[in-house]
């Protein structure tokens, strides 16, 4: 009897301990599940907040522009920046509880979605964006899709009727940086003009302007028109490429004042105040946000004998020359051939200059660097070359620097032209 009582007591104690342990474990598991549920919910909220504020570029609004392309023979003007973020279908099918996104080139994306892409037109630097500035880019075939590639640079800046034969609509999707002398807006002009002459529609898929927060610089004068400046606008125009296309059309800048059948696919969640970091460098010598912000100011050096960082990994973030005084310009670098600059100025020579990689973000063109380099250089007669006037769009800027005017005095001379331009520009803005 005692033995039985003892056994039952021990069993009761064991069961009680087990039960308590099990209860503790269940409680801990419930707490863990609740923590995981809260964490998942917080992640869902965070994702929704990111999606609500994320800039949706025109190319990613396929549901809007696909109806303009279905059943049509399509030409695409694109380069390495023409990327689209979309759901990765294979990953989604294997794990439907998660959403996976991938980057697709616009050409691949359109073909994947049943659009008949017949030709691809590539601007300066080529379809993959690796050619030097000004380098001739050959026609060819895209190895991935088999679609013919046609260069819109060199002697063939404007698509010919033969090249556009059989095309119903042209899609233009290229990242611009908001400077007049950045040639993608010149390519846009010629594409719109060629299509207007043949009755072909143009769709511009809009993208942000990383220098869209200001306008500045002298207005281009008609007698100085070139591929690095085709329209009477300032150096920094403060417009997206879609807005710019509307202005080309609206101001009658196409040949014989033709009007292009133009559609602009607007972005979502974009304002002119939105800081936008380009996910892909738009050309070989604009490798990062700092170079893009400094480009409108430092590109003037391309019209002088000063090196603006080509032949380094600091393109458009430094400037220098062997003849600048080391006492004033202590930063040193030696340009060497690299991607996008096979023959840089002063190749293999030690240059003295200025490092601007940590300069604060500009909201106006900086003229001080140009003026200081001109005054510090011992070869003032040789400082400017013939390209400078094309970049400036006027002879006046060079004359003002040579006459010793200050940066503020030069800037004052731009005010009237900028005021007039701003009124014209206002008619075509799509974003605040």
For 19-45, write each residue's pLDDT tens digit: 555 555 666 666 666 666 655 555 444
- pLDDT score for 337: 97
Stated pTM of the model: 0.84
**Residue at 86 is within a domain:** yes
pLDDT single digits (tens) 192-218: 999 999 999 999 999 999 999 999 999
Of 78, 426, 64, 420, the closest CA to residue 250 belongs to 426
* Domain identity same for 353 and 261: no
* Domain identity same for 114 and 146: yes
- pLDDT score for 124: 74
Phi, psi (rounded to 5 degrees) for 334: -130, 110
N-term to C-term CA, the chain: 92
- pLDDT score for 22: 56
Q: 71 vs 74, 115, 169, 195, 312, CA distance in Å?
A: 9, 8, 11, 19, 47
* Domain identity same for 165 and 270: yes
- The DSSP bridge partners found for residue 73 are 116
Q: Pairing state of beta strands 318-321 and 262-265?
A: unpaired
CB of 307 closer than 8 Å to CB of 345: yes
- pLDDT score for 46: 44
Helix axis angle for 241-250 and 415-426, nearest 10°, is 90
> Chain-centre distance of CA 316, in angstroms?
15
- Residue span of the structural domain in which 301 resides: 289-394
> Chain-centre distance of CA 75, in angstroms?
21
- pLDDT score for 233: 98
pLDDT single digits (tens) 397-426: 999 999 999 999 999 999 999 999 999 999
- pLDDT score for 142: 84
Q: 348 vs 64, 312, 354, 355, CA distance in Å?
A: 52, 11, 18, 18
**Residue at 5 is within a domain:** no
* Domain identity same for 234 and 106: yes
Number of domains within the chain: 2
* Domain identity same for 62 and 210: yes
- Other CB atoms within a 10 A radius of the CB of residue 205 amount to 29
* Domain identity same for 227 and 259: yes
Task: Give me the residues of the chain with pLDDT under 70, please.
Answer: 1-52, 88-100, 125-126, 128-138
């Amino acid at each position: 009897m005692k033995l039985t009582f003892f056994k039952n007591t021990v069993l009761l104690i064991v069961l009680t301990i087990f039960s308590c342990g099990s209860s503790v474990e269940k409680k801990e598991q419930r707490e863990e599940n609740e923590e995981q549920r809260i964490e998942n919910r917080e992640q869902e909220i965070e994702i929704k907040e990111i999606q609500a504020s994320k800039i949706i570029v025109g190319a990613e609004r396929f549901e809007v522009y696909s109806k303009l392309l279905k059943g049509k023979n399509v030409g695409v003007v694109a380069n390495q920046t023409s990327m689209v973020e979309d759901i990765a279908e294979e990953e989604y099918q294997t794990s439907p509880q998660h959403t996976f996104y991938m980057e697709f080139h616009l050409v691949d994306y359109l073909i994947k979605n049943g659009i008949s892409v017949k030709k691809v037109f590539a601007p300066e630097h080529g379809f993959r964006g690796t050619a030097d500035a000004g380098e001739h880019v050959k026609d060819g075939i895209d190895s991935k899709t088999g679609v013919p590639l046609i260069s819109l640079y060199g002697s063939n800046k404007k698509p010919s009727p033969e090249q556009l034969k059989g095309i119903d609509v042209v899609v233009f999707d290229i990242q611009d940086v908001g400077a007049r002398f950045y040639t993608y807006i010149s390519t846009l002009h010629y594409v719109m003009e060629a299509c207007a002459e043949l009755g072909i529609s143009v769709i511009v898929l809009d993208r942000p302007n990383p220098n869209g927060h200001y306008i500045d610089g002298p207005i281009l004068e008609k007698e100085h028109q070139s591929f690095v400046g085709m329209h009477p606008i300032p150096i920094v125009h403060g417009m997206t490429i879609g807005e710019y296309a509307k202005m080309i059309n609206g101001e009658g800048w196409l040949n014989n004042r033709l009007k292009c059948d133009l559609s602009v696919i607007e972005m979502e969640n974009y304002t002119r105040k939105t800081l936008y970091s380009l996910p892909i460098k738009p050309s070989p010598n604009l490798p990062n946000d700092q170079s893009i912000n400094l480009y409108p100011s430092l590109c003037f050096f391309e019209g002088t004998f000063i090196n603006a960082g080509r032949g380094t990994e600091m393109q458009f973030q430094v400037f220098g020359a062997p003849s600048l005084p080391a006492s004033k310009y202590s930063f040193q670098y030696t340009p060497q051939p690299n991607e996008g600059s096979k023959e840089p100025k002063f190749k293999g020579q030690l240059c003295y200059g200025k490092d601007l990689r940590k300069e604060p973000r500009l909201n106006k063109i900086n003229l001080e660097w140009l003026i200081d380099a001109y005054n510090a250089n011992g070869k003032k007669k040789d400082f400017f070359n013939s390209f400078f006037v094309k970049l400036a769009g006027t002879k006046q800027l060079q004359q003002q620097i040579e006459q010793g005017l200050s940066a503020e005095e030069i800037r004052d001379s731009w005010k009237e032209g900028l005021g007039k331009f701003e009124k014209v520009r206002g008619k075509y803005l799509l974003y605040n």
